[in-house]
Amino acid sequence: MEPRKGKRQSLKALLELRDLVLSGALPAGERLYEVSISQRIGISRTPVREALAMLAQEGLLERVPSGGFTVRTFSFQDVIDSIELRGVLEGTAARLAAERGVDAARLDEIYAIVDALDDVVKAGAQALNFALYTDLNGKFHTCLAGLSGSEIIQGEVARAVRLPFASPSAFLDAQFSLLEIRQTLISAQAQHRDMIDAIAGREGARAEHIAREHARLARKNLEYVMKHDPSLMEKVPGLKLVAG
């Protein structure tokens, strides 16, 4: 196989297999083998083997000593720890952005996202456009990581949010089912703007603090959901919570 074609096949296998896990098509606890996965997605075994190993490194799969992999299950504490980790990484990204400085064009780009989020949130909790909010929220957090100017930070943030519950929008679908949670988006949006204002003002400590508090708000919302209606977690693709 040509090297370039091999890379394309490896990437295709990784993307398709990750999508099967995150969509719930491969449920938590299911045993995976190279041969069966290769047949299922129509890609040869070598790229599939590489994709399985990569997803194990990302934390979506676990190696089985006797051979193959299983789709991971996660405890509620795992979810909390992942959200905390994202807060630490994004806090570091925000601090570095403030300390190193960000050019005007990139600040304008993320301020445009914040302005668009303002328009969505102003519609009110009852009429809020969930799909648009989710899309803009994802763009904001991706852009935030990029403001750090650090490829290492960007890579680690990207790696952290690949887990189905660590993404900034992971539990929004479940949370939007509760009016009380929708109303907290006003606070979340204020944090978005304050964070970028702090970066623009070269206030590193403040930018880091706000970013970490932003992640803690997501944690508080999740804890509220789990307390009032744990069944809502079934709306999160690929996630099976276990006690612990």
Q: Are 178 and 208 within 8 A, CB to CB?
A: no
Q: Based on the domain organization, do 67 and 147 belong to the same domain?
A: no
Q: What is the pLDDT of residue 243?
A: 46
Q: Based on the domain organization, do 62 and 105 belong to the same domain?
A: no
Please report whether residue 91 resides in a domain.
yes
Q: Based on the domain organization, do 202 and 148 belong to the same domain?
A: yes
Please report whether residue 177 resides in a domain.
yes
Please report whether residue 243 resides in a domain.
no
Q: Based on the domain organization, do 33 and 110 belong to the same domain?
A: no
Q: Based on the domain organization, do 29 and 105 belong to the same domain?
A: no
Report the domain count for the chain: 2
- Other beta carbons within 10 Å of 36: 12
Q: Are strands 241-242 and 74-75 parallel, antiparallel or unpaired?
A: parallel
Q: Based on the domain organization, do 169 and 151 belong to the same domain?
A: yes
35-50 per-position pLDDT tens digit: 999 999 999 999 999 9
Q: Which domain holds residue 14?
A: 3-72
Please report whether residue 215 resides in a domain.
yes
Please report whether residue 244 resides in a domain.
no
Q: Based on the domain organization, do 206 and 166 belong to the same domain?
A: yes
Q: Based on the domain organization, do 40 and 88 belong to the same domain?
A: no
Q: What is the pLDDT of residue 8?
A: 83
Q: How confident is the model at residue 76 (pLDDT cuts 50, 70, 90)?
A: confident
Q: Are 122 and 189 within 8 A, CB to CB?
A: no
Supply the DSSP string of the chain, one letter for each residue: --HHHHHHHHHHHHHHHHHHHHTTSS-TT-EE-HHHHHHHHT--HHHHHHHHHHHHHHTSEEE-TTSSEEE--EEHHHHHHHHHHHHHHHHHHHHHHHHH---HHHHHHHHHHHHHHHHHHTT-TTT--HHHHHHHHHHHHHHHHHHT--HHHHHHHHHHHTSTTTSTTTTHHHHTTSHHHHHTHHHHHHHHHHHHHHHHTT-HHHHHHHHHHHHHHHHHHHHHHHHH-GGGGGGSTT--EE--
159-210 per-position pLDDT tens digit: 887 765 677 776 565 555 566 666 788 889 999 999 999 999 999 999 999 9
- How far is Cα 145 from Cα 181, in angstroms, rounded to an integer? 25
Of 49, 72, 95, the position where a domain reaches its end is 72
Q: What is the pLDDT of residue 241?
A: 53
Of 72, 107, 124, the position where a domain reaches its end is 72
Q: How confident is the model at residue 217 (pLDDT cuts 50, 70, 90)?
A: confident
Instruction: Supply the pTM of this predicted model.
Output: 0.75
Give the CATH number, domain containing residue 22. Answer: 1.10.10.10
Q: Based on the domain organization, do 126 and 189 belong to the same domain?
A: yes
Give the CATH number, domain containing residue 138. Answer: 1.20.120.530
